[in-house]
Structure 1
Amino acid sequence: MRFPSGLSAFPITPADDTGRIDTAALRRLVGRLVAADVDSIGLLGSTGIYMYLTRDERRRAIDAALAESSGRVPVIAGIGALRTDEAVALARDAKDIGAAAGLLSAASYTPLTDDEVFEHFSAVAYGSGLPIVIYDNPGTTHFKFTSELVGRLAGVPGIVAIKNPGVGADETAKHLAGQRGTVPKGFSIGCSADWTAAETMIAGADTWYSVLGGLLPGVCLKIVRAAQQGDAAEAHRLDGMLEPLWELFRQYSSLRVVYALADLLGICRTEPPRPILPLAAPAKRQVADTLARLPVDILA
């Protein structure tokens, strides 16, 4: 398959304190992304609390998202699990329901070797038939994909893309070029860490996997389109307007901040799964103050 490029918007997954998903609220979130014409929807990523949900709840989430998108926007579903057989089962579920691809992390309790990760990803790709996106998220998994391992995995049929963590601005072009040198043509290289994404897209990344895009897709799409059209100045200008939000992301984590934003914007009222706590009142006021200072068109 040719993997969707551009903006992949990652919404939160509204759920109660037992882990039961509010599918009506999730459909509203997905509907906003479909209406904004994002390039793909990243369901059940880290912001989508995939590791806190049962297999049945993940199925319900994918069902709801696919019902709302009605085939208009591809859905990439998180399929990460500690056990390989569980990840295969989750990938098969996602494929059966109609997801375009699966987002697979190297989740573990015991630290994994490169060979173990290679076998894990290969087994999921071969065992499910679902196109796989490598999810490199060392902040949560404590495993970092080397360029050599990415190159090995990119040679496995069905492994089609990577979602990279953010790197420093000075390293962006070098990192991107180095990774391109290890993967076949057509393999999609993407970025996360919203505060570094504009620079990475300007440097030539294919996809921005965006947390903020799950709530405010309009401005994130403008950044992506400016980068795709070679207008670095406009991409930098828009990114600069979002710097107050990026500072909050760095200070409190993007997950906690977007939960607060969803409430403050009147989009969705829910809390992250325990033991993660919502932002304390002073921090939430800081988010509200930042929101109030942003230009109105950014919030569209």
Structure 2
Amino acid sequence: MFSGLSAFPLSPLSEAGIDEAAFARLIERLATAGVDSIGALGSTGSYAYLSRHERLRIARLAVQHAGDVPVVVGIGALRTRDVLELAQDAQTSGARGVLLAPVSYQKLSDDEVFDLFDTVTRSLSVPLCVYDNPATTHFEFSDELHGRIAQLPNVASIKIPGVPTAPGAAQVRIEQLRALIPRHVTIGVSGDAFAATGLNAGCEAWYSVIAGLFPQIALAIIRNAQAGSVEEASRLSERLAPLWALFLQYGSLRVTATAAELRGLVSRPCLPLPVKSLHGDVRQRLASMLDELEVA
């Protein structure tokens, strides 16, 4: 479950509520494509903006429509108490795993983050993926902290934020982390622009934003990497460089949401206010880009 392609879909919603029909279609689209797992309520799923009730509903819908594809549910929240409640909700919904980011308002210390994972992992009956995403949590894991957390019960994977762009440096980065964690704990790359390099450097998983919307193109990249076709995996990723540039400039959530609107997969608006999809010239540029790249 914590290897291969894990696709992270949007949670389409407006101020009126979750668009359950659109979300169900997105999940079924991923299951039909044959992704290895589905990551509901990741950052692309706007988990931080949703109530506990909304998150439980999303988790249940994801499991209901995923078929045989395992669903991993995000459980990050400001308080340990809330994380424990969300973990229980995820497990009762049928999730096969959970994803935990150290969300905070006050900057957390290493010991506080370790205690969070220690408390949560001991209450779980499903495996956990450590969500290392400093862009949103503003907490930076050291490799040593990853090593400590990876020894805890039920920890099965680490989702790292990216790798160096040079292949040799990326391989060194993965080897350094691998030396500190047990063999059964997988390393998964996120940050879609880094995926091919990370996979070619030894990452076992790709936790992907673009796969949540356009799974076929992501599957082509990872299957080539898994088959040892390093150059083809890199070529397919480099072809998407204009899209990766928009991710960097505007954020992958806004770009992905806009692409979903443009392709008629969700209604507009589909993001929780005050966050909005792209508009004006950049929206038109993205529309042209999607046509040129022939993504669907």
Specify if TM > 0.5. yes
Is the aligned partner of 1:67 residue 2:71? no
Which of 194, 197, 205 is residue 196 of structure 1 equivalent to? 194
Once superposed, what is the RMSD of the aligned Cα atoms?
1.1
Q: Where do 4+ consecutive residues of structure 1 move more than 3 Å?
A: none
Structure 1 counterpart of 2:214, which letter?
L
Which of 79, 89, 92 is residue 88 of structure 2 equivalent to? 92
* TM-score calculated relative to the size of structure 1: 0.95
Sort the Cα spacing of 1:89 and 1:128 in 2 relative to 1 into closer, same or farther, 3 A: farther
How far residue 17 of structure 1 moved from its aligned partner, in angstroms, is: 1.3
The separation in 2 between residues aligned to 1:130 and 1:149, in whole angstroms, is 22
How far residue 40 of structure 1 moved from its aligned partner, in angstroms, is: 0.3
How far residue 183 of structure 1 moved from its aligned partner, in angstroms, is: 0.5
- Number of the residue aligned with 2:275: 276
The separation in 1 between residues aligned to 2:34 and 2:125, in whole angstroms, is 27
Structure 2 counterpart of 1:114, which letter?
D
> What are the Cα deviations for residues 240-291 of structure 1, in whole angstroms up to 9, with x where unaligned?
2111111111111110000110011111123311121221211101111211
Q: Report if aligned partners of 1:92, 1:129 keep a CA contact under 8 Å in 2.
A: no
Secondary structure at the aligned position of 2:11 is classed as coil
- Number of the residue aligned with 2:230: 232
Q: Report if aligned partners of 2:73, 2:98 keep a CA contact under 8 Å in 1.
A: yes
Q: Report if aligned partners of 1:75, 1:99 keep a CA contact under 8 Å in 2.
A: yes
- Number of the residue aligned with 2:290: 291
The separation in 1 between residues aligned to 2:156 and 2:228, in whole angstroms, is 25
Q: Report if aligned partners of 1:91, 1:130 keep a CA contact under 8 Å in 2.
A: no
The separation in 2 between residues aligned to 1:131 and 1:292, in whole angstroms, is 39
> What are the Cα deviations for residues 11-36 of structure 1, in whole angstroms up to 9, with x where unaligned?
00011215x21111110000000000
The separation in 1 between residues aligned to 2:18 and 2:76, in whole angstroms, is 18
Q: Report if aligned partners of 1:55, 1:90 keep a CA contact under 8 Å in 2.
A: yes
Structure 1 counterpart of 2:131, which letter?
Y
The separation in 1 between residues aligned to 2:291 and 2:58, in whole angstroms, is 32
* TM-score calculated relative to the size of structure 2: 0.96
Secondary structure at the aligned position of 1:118 is classed as helix
The separation in 2 between residues aligned to 1:206 and 1:128, in whole angstroms, is 23
The separation in 2 between residues aligned to 1:212 and 1:169, in whole angstroms, is 19
Q: Report if aligned partners of 1:10, 1:48 keep a CA contact under 8 Å in 2.
A: yes
- Number of the residue aligned with 1:76: 72
The separation in 1 between residues aligned to 2:164 and 2:271, in whole angstroms, is 29
Q: Report if aligned partners of 2:5, 2:35 keep a CA contact under 8 Å in 1.
A: yes
Q: Report if aligned partners of 1:27, 1:65 keep a CA contact under 8 Å in 2.
A: yes
> What are the Cα deviations for residues 13-66 of structure 1, in whole angstroms up to 9, with x where unaligned?
011215x21111110000000000000001000010000001111110011111
Structure 2 counterpart of 1:245, which letter?
L
The separation in 2 between residues aligned to 1:281 and 1:168, in whole angstroms, is 33
Structure 2: which 5+ residue stretches go unaligned?
none
Structure 2 counterpart of 1:8, which letter?
S
The separation in 1 between residues aligned to 2:145 and 2:257, in whole angstroms, is 34
Q: Report if aligned partners of 2:163, 2:189 keep a CA contact under 8 Å in 1.
A: no
Which of 173, 176, 187 is residue 174 of structure 2 equivalent to? 176
Seq. identity, %: 45
Q: Report if aligned partners of 2:124, 2:154 keep a CA contact under 8 Å in 1.
A: no
The separation in 1 between residues aligned to 2:291 and 2:274, in whole angstroms, is 29
How far residue 163 of structure 1 moved from its aligned partner, in angstroms, is: 0.6
Secondary structure at the aligned position of 1:81 is classed as coil
Secondary structure at the aligned position of 2:6 is classed as strand
Alignment of 1:8-27 (within 5 A): 8-18=6-16, 20-27=17-24
> What are the Cα deviations for residues 144-184 of structure 1, in whole angstroms up to 9, with x where unaligned?
11111111011001111111101321332121111100001
Structure 1: which 5+ residue stretches go unaligned?
none
Q: Report if aligned partners of 1:17, 1:274 keep a CA contact under 8 Å in 2.
A: yes
Is the aligned partner of 1:112 residue 2:146? no
Q: Report if aligned partners of 2:2, 2:156 keep a CA contact under 8 Å in 1.
A: no
> What are the Cα deviations for residues 190-211 of structure 1, in whole angstroms up to 9, with x where unaligned?
0110001110001110110110
Structure 2 counterpart of 1:132, which letter?
L
Secondary structure at the aligned position of 1:47 is classed as helix
Secondary structure at the aligned position of 1:189 is classed as strand
Structure 2 counterpart of 1:130, which letter?
V
Secondary structure at the aligned position of 2:44 is classed as coil
